[in-house]
Amino acid sequence: MSPTAAINSWPLYHSMQGVIAHRGASGEAPENTAPAIRLAHTQGATWAEVDVTISADGIAVIHHDDDLSRCSNGQGLVVQHDLLQLQQLDSGSWFNPQFGGTPILTLHELLQLAQALPLALNLELKPAAGLEAATVHAVAATLAAVEAPPVLLLSSFSELALALAHESLPQLPRALNVDAIPSDWAQRLSQAQATSLHFDADAVDLQRLAEIHQAGIATAAFTVNHTDQASQLWQAGVSAVFSDYPERLRRHWLQWQAAQSR
């Protein structure tokens, strides 16, 4: 990885203002849906993270699990349903009846919504096993069809998906997602062609984190809903925390920032 690529990630992470709305404002609206994205923006978030997978007919859609049952009234795998079938589903009632009738978003719809708000997006590539290339292809095809996409950052636990994204979408910054930060983080970032690292906040290793920041790599941590944990991470140099409650964490970030400059 070139040092230039690493340095270029910092302005992007700075613009997150300490918080990324995790699956939108998913503590208060159904995750990965338009209401959650709109609420994140209303609450002052500048960035939201969403999970991207594909339908049976190869269209990029916004959904976290491989299976439909937790977050919709559908059953079976997302990838076994074509887009028309997915669009018949209700992905809001499971969260609260007030969100009944909320559809699964396509990536195309989401990009248009985020551009209009505006809200920058971290697209987490969540390919079903073996469908890494098809998922990256679907994202690239969608982006090619959108005239003015919002500010974007790609990420994935799949090193293959990231390396494929580097080939087809070289202009977009890419983050590697990991649970605990591995000792060979530099090699893993390089293999995945990623320029930043997202890790599980509950598995933080402060010494390793310091090494990463010293190497000029920006980081973000998931999923943080408690303010004390967020302050510890920001203090350790983590640029942003993914939170289901962006309003709460953003308010805390503003207070934390003010205390730092006293």
Among 198, 248, 250, 252, which residue sits at the site for ligand G3P (rule: CB under 6 A)?
Answer: 198
Contact yes or no for 239/201 (Cβ under 8 A): no
Write down the least CB distance from residue 124 to Mg ion, Å: 4
Q: CB-based contacts of 126: which residues, under 8 Å, 6+ apart?
A: 51, 52, 53, 63, 64, 135, 156
Write down the least CB distance from residue 198 to ligand G3P, Å: 5
Binding mask 224-253 for ligand G3P (x = CB under 6 A): ------------------x-----------
Contact yes or no for 200/180 (Cβ under 8 A): yes
Write down the least CB distance from residue 147 to ligand G3P, Å: 27
With CB under 5 A as the rule, give the number of residues binding Mg ion. Answer: 2
Among 26, 33, 106, 177, which residue sits at the site for ligand G3P (rule: CB under 6 A)?
Answer: 177
In the complex, residue closest to ligand G3P by CB: 222
Write down the least CB distance from residue 257 to Mg ion, Å: 26
* Contacts of ligand G3P in 32-51 (CB under 6 A): 49, 51
Specify the residue, 124 or 244, whose C-beta has the smaller distance to Mg ion: 124
Binding mask 109-128 for Mg ion (x = CB under 5 A): ---------------x----
State yes or no: residue 222 binds ligand G3P (CB under 6 A).
yes
Contact yes or no for 6/214 (Cβ under 8 A): no
Specify the residue, 85 or 172, whose C-beta has the smaller distance to ligand G3P: 172
Residue 198 interacts with which of ligand G3P, Mg ion, none, CB < 5 to 8 Å by class: ligand G3P
How far is it, in rounded angstroms, from Cα 153 to Cα 240? 13
> Would you give the end-to-end CA distance of the chain in angstroms?
37
DSSP bridge partners of 177: 198
Q: Which residues bind Mg ion (CB under 5 A)?
A: 51, 124
Q: Which residues bind ligand G3P (CB under 6 A)?
A: 22, 49, 51, 64, 124, 155, 177, 198, 222-223, 242
